[in-house]
Chain A
Amino acid sequence: MRFIKFTPLLLTFFLLAACSADPEAADHYAKREEVNVNIEAPESIEAGSAPKIDVKLTQDGKSLEQEATVNFLIWKDENKADAEEIPASLDADGTYLLEYTFPSDGVYFVKADVTVDNIHLMPTKQIRVGELTQEEIEKIKQEQEQKKQDDSGSHHHH
């Protein structure tokens, strides 16, 4: 009869005993070649100036030696349809320069379209030029508020 006492214990053990996924398990399966991309821009940009903005490509922590095709797309606010396309110039191994003069103050988006072999990267960075109007600040505040809600409101799906 002593068995009966252990039954709930055994039951809990079996129901809870779950192995866990190994974070390194991906090493056993097909891997993709990785190239890291970073758009680098100065902290503050004035309208009418040509700031040093570049794209840095790295692989395994080192500058990418292989040549890539890099194009920039630049637009202001929501006017993505009117984006200006500017080809990048190669500066050094893995570094591509944007030569562009921001015409006026405001919120700009700089998208770098990078192709290396069959790898296609397309990061977009928000760049603020000059002083923002109260309206623009409010808008950014709202967007961030929205993001915060999204972050806490829903969970990650696999």
Chain B
Amino acid sequence: MEAQKEPSVSKKKQQKRRSLYQSVWRWHFYAGLIIMPFLIILAITGGVYLFKPQIEAALYKDYYEVTPQTTVTTPSEQINTVEAVNPNAAVTSYRPSDSPDRSAEVGITEDGKAFTVYVDPYENVILGKLEDSYKLVNVFEKIHGELLMGTVGDRIVEWAACWALILIITGVYLGWPKMKGKSKIRGVLVPRLNKGKKLRARDLHVVPAFWISLGLLFLILTGLPWSGLWGNNFQILTTNAGVGYPPSVWVGDAPASDVKTKEIADVPWSAENLPVPVSTNQQYTQLSVDDVVSIAEEEGVKPGYNIMIPQTQDGVFTLSAFPPKARDEVTMHIDQYTGAVLADYRYDNYNTLGKVIAYGITIHKGTEFGIWNQIIGLLVCIGIVGIAVSGFILWLSRKPEGKLGSPKAPSDKVMKGVIVLMIILGIIFPLVGISIIVVWLFDRFVIPRVPALKRFFNA
């Protein structure tokens, strides 16, 4: 630290501010270096996923398109065809055609794998069969949501997203204009390209980051509610409190079909080796999918929905539609024996927070506002890759040989403000809390004890 000869009050203040600046810089640097690869992966896969409708329409043209005719076969006839061709499969869902030239879809599971079979509803012939987890866009979605690593991957993505919040907060502090007047704008809102290499490297990170971080912040906040740990707990809290989605739309159980136990419990579909109770006359049979489709029509549900077929005795038919626009969403549960609508949750039945989350999700996915939603989403994704790369270049341009180039560690006193902010974030986002503890332990106990590390981290 320079200029310590006359420790006047203003000098001390200045020094303190400089130390705080350095500590924030250190955290911005740690966070940036660790999560940069994840942010780039999320931005690229997300950028591709935005164009799911166009990509799938092109890829599966032969499975999607059918020639309209005057007579249509019933859903149960189409399902019978699929069952005949796939005798070992269990039919799990049916999606009626949503326009005259679009095929119907039958979801099946076979050997624990899920497939979609595309059926021409007029000819009642199978157009093709795809394994769901190998659909190209689904693979991108899987990387985006869990890095193809299941629950562990989901937690990593959530953690990276939370840390990106820390990057934005610390970044805003670091980039905040220090000069007054007109020059304020330059270096934050507009880059200075002709003021030397160092300043240019800085501005090429700071200026785009300022603009992109608005979009990034939106994507993080709208993406977090569907994450596995934080999102799930958040959804449960809001659903239970009656301010979010109704139960079963996101979290919580669907109602159960009334199995009229006194009649069905005696039927030996769960007992072994009992004689067929020929005298037990009464057994309800499951509604046909045709009936479910007609119920959907009566209830005013527009085509484009999927019917989940119950797989257990007390299961329900669940009719669900998550179309491009949030206000068209439907989740409806139908008793599999009587056809009674047990629950009917449309967008209008979501409570305030549920509506906000729903809009957040459709905008995040780029479907709410059509092509412009997709284009803006794509620009933000490109921008995120850009600021991650320019941040890395900025670090390289400042980094001394053999050192990481992080500013010297300030005293604990100055770090207080930053620490308070970190603790708040750590409590709201437990994954951030845990990693803050780990980094702090490393920063505090490991680095000072290992001379080589101490030199490297400039601690």
Contacts and interface: CB of A to CB of B under 8 A. Distances in A.
A10 B437 CA distance: 10
B255 A150 contact: no
A15 B229 contact: yes
A30 B246 contact: yes
A144 B242 contact: no
Contacts of A119: 340-341
Interface stretch (B17-25, B120-128, B264-272, B412-420): B264-272
A62 interface: no
B114 to A, nearest CB: 10
Contacts of A123: 284, 337-339
Contacts of B236: 18-21
Interface string B272-290: 0000101111111101000
Contacts of A141: 276
Given A7-B438, A19-B236, 5 more contacts: A4-B441, A18-B232, A34-B342, A37-B340, A144-B269
B284 A21 contact: no
Interface stretch (B61-69, B165-173, B378-386, B428-436): B428-436
B318 interface: yes
A37 B284 CA distance: 11
A151 B269 contact: yes
Q: Which of A28, A40, A132 has the most CB of B within 10 A?
A: A28
Contacts of B237: 19
Identify the 4 closest CB pairs spanning chains A and B, nearest first: A28-B242, A29-B246, A21-B252, A14-B430
Interface in A25-70: 25-32, 34-45
B155 to A, nearest CB: 7
13 contacts: A3-B441, A7-B438, A14-B430, A15-B229, A25-B240, A28-B241, A30-B349, A34-B342, A36-B258, A37-B340, A39-B284, A109-B285, A132-B278
A37 B213 CA distance: 57
B285 A126 contact: yes
Contacts of B6: none
Interface stretch (B134-142, B305-313, B360-368): B305-313
B40 interface: no
A125 B287 contact: no
Interface residues of B, number: 66
Interface of A: 1, 3-4, 7, 10-11, 14-15, 17-23, 25-32, 34-45, 109, 119-128, 131-132, 137, 140-141, 144, 147-148, 150-151, 153-158
A2 B230 CA distance: 28
B341 A128 contact: no
B312 A32 contact: no
B401 interface: no
Contacts of A36: 258, 338, 340
B248 A158 contact: yes
A30 B441 contact: no
A120 B342 contact: no
Contacts of B90: 150, 153-154
B253 interface: yes
Nearest to A42: B281
B251 A21 contact: yes
B322 interface: no
A89 B92 CA distance: 38
A127 B282 contact: yes
Given A20-B236, A28-B351, A41 B282 contact: yes
B147 to A, nearest CB: 17
Nearest to A137: B276
Nearest to B274: A144
